Amino acid sequence: MSPRSSLSTEEEKFVRWARVSRMATAGADGRIHNVPISPVLEAGSLLIATDTTSRKVRNLEANPRVTLVFDEYSEMWDLLRGVVIEGSVRIVRDGVDFTRARALLYEKFRQYEIESPIESETSVILVVTPERVTSWGF
């Protein structure tokens, strides 16, 4: 499938219900950092909470480019599915956007509120705007 800037209906459904994705960032020195994340899809953007001191944040402050991979593996390879989203990130540290994103993350991932509260003193919200989408299996 050729790249485009937005998700198809089927891709959006797949991404919306995904519990985990992988996020790759690169720092100013070019070193790649790839970690699992738990995102929420809202109005075409992906919302991700992370610690203010995380390597993701340091990398994104130097280079706001990001790649996310959502995939589903099967031993029956004709059932393999995945979506790759390349985009740019805006870091939200507080305010109404922070509060709204936190509520959406708490709604999807109930563990956050008790196990890892998202507070503006210790957390930021990463807002990923997709710019290039590719997929397979849809």
Q: 21: domain range? A: 9-136
DSSP string, 22-87: EEEEE-TT--EEEEEE--EEETTEEEEEEETTSHHHHHHHH--EEEEEEEE--SSGGG-EEEEEEE
What pLDDT score was predicted for residue 114?
86
CATH number at residue 44: 2.30.110.10
What pLDDT score was predicted for residue 41?
97
- Domain assignment present for 105: yes
Structural domains counted in the chain: 1
- Domain assignment present for 3: no
- Domain assignment present for 4: no
How confident is the model over 20-54, as pLDDT tens digits?
A: 999 999 999 999 999 999 999 999 999 999 999 99
What pLDDT score was predicted for residue 2?
64
| Cβ contact 109:135 at 8 Å | no
- Domain assignment present for 2: no
How confident is the model over 92-131, as pLDDT tens digits?
A: 999 999 999 999 999 999 999 888 999 999 999 999 999 9
